[in-house]
């Protein structure tokens, strides 16, 4: 696996190159809701609603090899290798032309902080292998393969709607809406320099009261989506973040929430198995961008690292963005 810059790979991917497969997948910034929820049969499943982040991601290139069945590359990217092998096996039955090969990954997604670096790598890889073989995958098929490769996966590949996704089963439990309401989210790393190994992080064990709460939060998020109610969405995300404090606490969760509310925001979302958090604002408010800029400065003054601004560019006034 080579390690070129994302800009260099974008230039390469923009050129004409035959005999290879290409794939891309975005990052995410943690979750708006995560817990256990009843499926259509009444069984409890672990599931989540992801906050997409389109300004970061992974690009993958698949180059076939006649002499290798599998993937040649860095042993550190074991999930990528597994994803490629699973995809090759899947497509062999459809096309009869599955080949081994080399996967080249270039990503600007930070590792171990809850922004979906491995899911982005795996999804881009599957798309690259599928592209080479001329296979069109549904979003649900791609999600199923990603879960097989990772054991647990965020639904970044299901980009045409907002879903409650059973991340260990690869199943959509519910479609909540076509898109999120207009959000402006100021993201930060609550523990700069700390990395969470999600493969070794034990799944949360929820009590009956928490399980009951998840049902209420699911219904509230459904209502927030239907009404484009950012304030209600923020309350749902905050409640989910607070429940997770029992499993992966963020020492500055409450100070960040207080900061958000002081500037007219509506709540906080987190990576439930990472270190990032995001302050949620309604992007329709005329002062939302100015509030986000001030919050970003205050976050840095707290010694934390601003990771992203989702929903609007970090510079420019509201009038300039509307022009």
- Regarding whether 104 and 218 lie in a shared domain, the answer is no
- Regarding whether 128 and 225 lie in a shared domain, the answer is no
Task: Return the pLDDT at 188.
Answer: 97
- Regarding whether 16 and 165 lie in a shared domain, the answer is yes
Both tokens of residue 228?
């484009």
Single residue among 174, 198, 231 that ends a domain in this structure = 174
Instruction: Quickly list DSSP for 94-131.
Output: HHS---EEEEEEEE-PPSSSSS-HHHHHHHHHHHHHHH
Nearest to 244 by CA among 43, 38, 48: 48
The conformational region for residue 196 under phi > 0 = left, psi -120 to 50 = alpha, else beta, is beta
Task: Specify the DSSP class assigned to residue 146.
Answer: H
Q: Give the DSSP H/E element, type plus range, for residue 300.
A: helix 288-301
Instruction: Quickly list DSSP for 72-103.
Output: ES-TT-HHHHHHHHHHHHHHHHHHS---EEEE
Classify residue 258: in a domain, yes or no: yes
Q: How many domains does the chain have?
A: 2
Task: Return the pLDDT at 186.
Answer: 98
Classify residue 47: in a domain, yes or no: yes
CATH number of the domain that 251 lies in?
A: 3.30.70.890
pTM: 0.87
- Regarding whether 71 and 24 lie in a shared domain, the answer is yes
**How many residues are given for the chain?**
323
Single residue among 153, 174, 195 that ends a domain in this structure = 174
Classify residue 1: in a domain, yes or no: no
- Regarding whether 245 and 141 lie in a shared domain, the answer is no
- Regarding whether 89 and 218 lie in a shared domain, the answer is no
- Regarding whether 159 and 126 lie in a shared domain, the answer is yes
- Regarding whether 164 and 106 lie in a shared domain, the answer is yes
- Regarding whether 186 and 107 lie in a shared domain, the answer is no
- Regarding whether 217 and 284 lie in a shared domain, the answer is yes
Task: Return the pLDDT at 322.
Answer: 37
Classify residue 150: in a domain, yes or no: yes
- Regarding whether 314 and 165 lie in a shared domain, the answer is no
| SS3 of 157-179 | CCCCCEEEEECCCCEEEEEEECC
Task: Return the pLDDT at 85.
Answer: 87
Task: Specify the DSSP class assigned to residue 277.
Answer: E
- Regarding whether 189 and 166 lie in a shared domain, the answer is no
> Could you tell me the residue range of the domain that residue 139 belongs to?
6-174
Can you tell me which residue has the tokens 């439930």? 272
Are 123 and 156 contacting, i.e. CB atoms less than 8 angstroms apart? yes
Are 155 and 175 contacting, i.e. CB atoms less than 8 angstroms apart? no
Classify residue 300: in a domain, yes or no: yes
Classify residue 23: in a domain, yes or no: yes
Are 167 and 203 contacting, i.e. CB atoms less than 8 angstroms apart? no
Residues of the chain predicted below pLDDT 70: 1-18, 66-76, 93-99, 312-323
Classify residue 232: in a domain, yes or no: yes
Distance CA 58, CA 82 (A): 16
Classify residue 10: in a domain, yes or no: yes
Give 1-51 pLDDT, tens digit per residue: 333 344 444 444 433 355 889 999 999 999 999 999 999 898 999 999 999
Distance CA 10, CA 23 (A): 11
Task: Return the pLDDT at 15.
Answer: 37
Task: Return the pLDDT at 52.
Answer: 95
CATH number of the domain that 77 lies in?
A: 3.30.230.10
Single residue among 126, 150, 174 that ends a domain in this structure = 174
């Amino acid at each position: 696996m080579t390690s070129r810059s994302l800009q260099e790979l974008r230039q390469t991917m923009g050129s004409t190159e035959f005999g290879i497969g290409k794939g891309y997948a975005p990052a995410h910034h943690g979750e708006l809701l995560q817990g256990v929820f009843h499926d259509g049969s009444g069984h409890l499943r672990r599931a989540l609603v992801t906050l997409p982040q389109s300004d970061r991601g992974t690009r993958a290139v698949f180059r076939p090899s006649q002499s290798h069945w599998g993937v040649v590359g860095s042993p550190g990217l074991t999930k990528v290798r597994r994803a490629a092998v699973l995809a090759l096996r899947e497509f062999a039955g459809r096309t009869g032309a599955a080949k081994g090969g080399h996967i080249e990954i270039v990503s600007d997604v930070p590792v171990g902080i809850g922004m979906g670096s491995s899911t982005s790598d795996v999804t881009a890889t599957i798309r690259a292998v599928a592209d080479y073989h001329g296979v069109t995958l549904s979003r649900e098929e791609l999600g199923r393969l990603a879960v097989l490769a990772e054991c647990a996966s965020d639904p970044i590949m299901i980009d045409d709607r907002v879903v409650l996704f059973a991340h260990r089963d690869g199943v959509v439990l519910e479609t909540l809406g076509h898109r999120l309401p207009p959000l402006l989210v100021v993201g930060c790393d609550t523990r700069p320099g700390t990395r969470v190994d999600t493969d070794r992080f034990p799944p949360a064990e929820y009590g009956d009261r928490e399980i009951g709460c998840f049902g209420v939060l699911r219904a509230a998020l459904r209502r927030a989506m239907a009404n484009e109610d950012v304030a209600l969405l923020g309350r749902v995300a905050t409640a989910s973040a607070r429940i997770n404090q029992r499993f992966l606490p963020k020492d500055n969760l409450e100070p960040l929430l207080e900061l958000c509310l002081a500037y007219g925001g509506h709540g906080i979302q987190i990576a439930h198995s990472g270190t990032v958090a995001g302050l949620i604002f309604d992007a329709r408010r005329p002062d939302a961008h100015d509030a986000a800029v001030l919050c970003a400065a205050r976050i840095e003054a707290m010694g934390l690292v601003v990771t992203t601004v989702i929903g609007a560019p970090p510079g420019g006034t509201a009038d300039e963005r509307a022009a």
